[in-house]
Amino acid sequence: MRLILGAVTFAFLIAGTLSGAIPGVATVGAAPFYKGKTIKVIIRSRPGGGYDFYGRLIVRHLPRHIPGNPVAIAVNMPGAGGIVAGNYLMNRAKRDGTEIAILTRELALAQRTGAIGVKYDVRTLISLGSAASSTFLVVLDKNHPVKTIAQLRNFKKIVLLAATGPGSGSYQWSSLLKFDGFPVKVISGYSGGQERFLAIERGDVQGTANSYESTRIAIQEQGLVPIFYAGAKHPALKGVPNVADALSKEGKQLAALMGAPLAAGRPFFTAPGVPAERVAILRAAFKAALSDPKLRKEAGRAKRSVNWIDPIVMDTINRRILQASDEVVALFKEGSKKPKKKLVRHQGQVSKIKRGGRRVWIIHEGKEVGAKISGSRTKITVAGNKAKRKAIKVGMNCRFTYPKPGAEATRVDCK
């Protein structure tokens, strides 16, 4: 069965469940368990950004709604776009209700599409609820000539978009554009939104994909230009089109699949195997905390929305994502592939060396060509033996293997 998930479906689903009660209530006999305990809240990203904000918001306000008034602490656990934190909660976290986590909204999508490193099963993790729904967007540098998604479609040069790991929305939404024929290249490996915004400011990349609330300040301070949004339409994005309006038929299918997690955009879970009575306590406390005037006042000062999403809704969204057809998943994987670098080989006598071997030039076919030499990524041999870049000397005959002159070499073989 072909799966096409739309925002309308999940808006209806949420509307039907927000007014319902969470199954189970805290029992009196279970209350003493949390007295004197410490609850660890795992945050899937580095400090700063949306996940960190909501994680620490829960740390500050959840304990007083739990019988026994435990202490709560925040533990940041970034890596692979949230996959590292998901793996930890699944396989290493305590199963007694003292560890919870705010995980990536793309948790189920990464699992269904077989993202590298996934060692969790979202069906086994226990959902507690989501603190908000999300709006996702792509923004470009204010000085970039592209100001709309229509202009991006017809742009003649490659636009570099910064992303974290393959489990993240920044990677997946950027990859969607690439798949659908937009002239973009995904530059992954950034640890969080703040690092990506800094990369735009430095000119290393031209844009990124991110949640609106985590990008709002950068839009104001750096003048970043939103070119499309996905998920819930935010009032501040008047005139910005929905991404589906600019996509092909196949692109729309992928956007529907990827947009589904935005309905529960700040999801909290606890580990598998936590006793049912403690799950009930945590779920009830989570819902109560999000209704707490003190929490809402703090979120309001930070201009962050708070919207409790029932764990039943979260489980339904994740289950439907995991039921996505092989056809749509194949499209997603094709769009997420990293292009293979075409390498060339140039050989000649070393003419000069700079910065301790970080830059090396050879004379190839009568022309001087250079290469960047990494101390960790470039494989170097001298006379067939593994060597460090400082072993390269003027006068040696060396062969560069690299994408093009001036680029970083993958290999340097000298004799």
Residue 140 φ then ψ, to 5°? -120, 160
Look up residue 18 and give its DSSP letter. Answer: T
pLDDT of residue 328: 83
* H/E stretch holding 413: strand 411-414
What angle is formed at CA 80 by the lines to CA 74 and CA 83, rounded to 5 degrees? Answer: 65
89 and 153, same structural domain? no
pLDDT of residue 397: 96
pLDDT of residue 118: 96
Average per-residue pLDDT in the chain?
89
Q: How far apart are CA 139 and CA 200, in angstroms?
A: 10
**What are 123's strand-pairing partners?**
none
- Residue 251 amino acid letter: G
Check whether 17 has a pLDDT greater than 50: no
Q: Is residue 62 domain-resident?
A: yes
pLDDT of residue 341: 62
Q: What is the mean pLDDT of residues 188-207?
A: 93
Q: How far apart are CA 390 and CA 357, in angstroms?
A: 5
What angle is formed at CA 53 by the lines to CA 126 and CA 47, rounded to 5 degrees? Answer: 100
Check whether 60 has a pLDDT greater than 50: yes
Q: How far apart are CA 334 and CA 203, in angstroms?
A: 28
Contacts of 305 (CB under 8 A, 6+ apart): 132, 133, 213, 299
Q: Is residue 2 domain-resident?
A: no
205 and 275, same structural domain? no
Q: What is the mean pLDDT of residues 386-402?
A: 95
- CATH number at 396 reads 2.40.50.140
* Predicted confidence (pLDDT) per residue in 203-243, tens digit: 999 999 999 988 999 999 999 999 999 987 888 999 999 98
324 and 366, same structural domain? no
206 and 250, same structural domain? yes
Q: How far apart are CA 122 and CA 314, in angstroms?
A: 10
- The DSSP secondary structure of 171-185, one letter per residue, reads HHHHHHHHHTT-SEE
Q: How far apart are CA 187 and CA 174, in angstroms?
A: 9
128 and 11, same structural domain? yes
Check whether 349 has a pLDDT greater than 50: yes
Q: Is residue 50 domain-resident?
A: yes
Q: How far apart are CA 2 and CA 326, in angstroms?
A: 8
Q: Which of 6-20, 187-201, 358-372, 399-413 has the lowest mean pLDDT?
A: 6-20
Choosing from 194, 225, 254, the residue where a domain stops is 254
pLDDT of residue 336: 59
Choosing from 302, 333, 364, the residue where a domain stops is 333
Q: Is residue 23 domain-resident?
A: yes
153 and 189, same structural domain? yes
Q: pLDDT > 70: what percent of the chain? A: 91
- CATH number at 226 reads 3.40.190.10
267 and 128, same structural domain? yes
| Radius of gyration, CA atoms only, the chain | 25
Check whether 22 has a pLDDT greater than 50: no
Q: CB–CB of 50/17 below 8 Å?
A: no
The CA-based diameter of the chain, rounded to the nearest angstrom, is: 85
- CATH number at 274 reads 3.40.190.150
CA distances from residue 370 to 345, 364, 373, 396 in whole angstroms, order as listed: 12, 10, 10, 14
With 0.75 as the threshold, say if the pTM is over it. no
Check whether 167 has a pLDDT greater than 80: no
* Predicted confidence (pLDDT) per residue in 70-90, tens digit: 999 999 999 988 999 999 999
pLDDT of residue 325: 86
The range of the structural domain enclosing residue 387 comes to 344-414
Q: Is residue 1 domain-resident?
A: no
139 and 127, same structural domain? no
Contacts of 19 (CB under 8 A, 6+ apart): none
* Counted domains in the chain: 3
247 and 159, same structural domain? yes
* Predicted confidence (pLDDT) per residue in 139-161, tens digit: 999 999 999 999 999 999 999 99
Pairing of strands 135-140, 207-211: antiparallel
126 and 266, same structural domain? yes
143: its two tokens: 């000085």
172 and 105, same structural domain? no
CB-hemisphere CA count at 13 Å for 73? 6
* pLDDT band with cut points at 50, 70 and 90 for residue 338: low
Q: How far apart are CA 331 and CA 113, in angstroms?
A: 10
Choosing from 198, 231, 254, the residue where a domain stops is 254
Check whether 399 has a pLDDT greater than 90: yes
Residue 138 φ then ψ, to 5°? -110, 130
223 and 325, same structural domain? no
Q: Is residue 339 domain-resident?
A: no
Q: What is the mean pLDDT of residues 100-104?
A: 97
Check whether 31 has a pLDDT greater than 60: no
pLDDT of residue 189: 87
Q: Is residue 338 domain-resident?
A: no
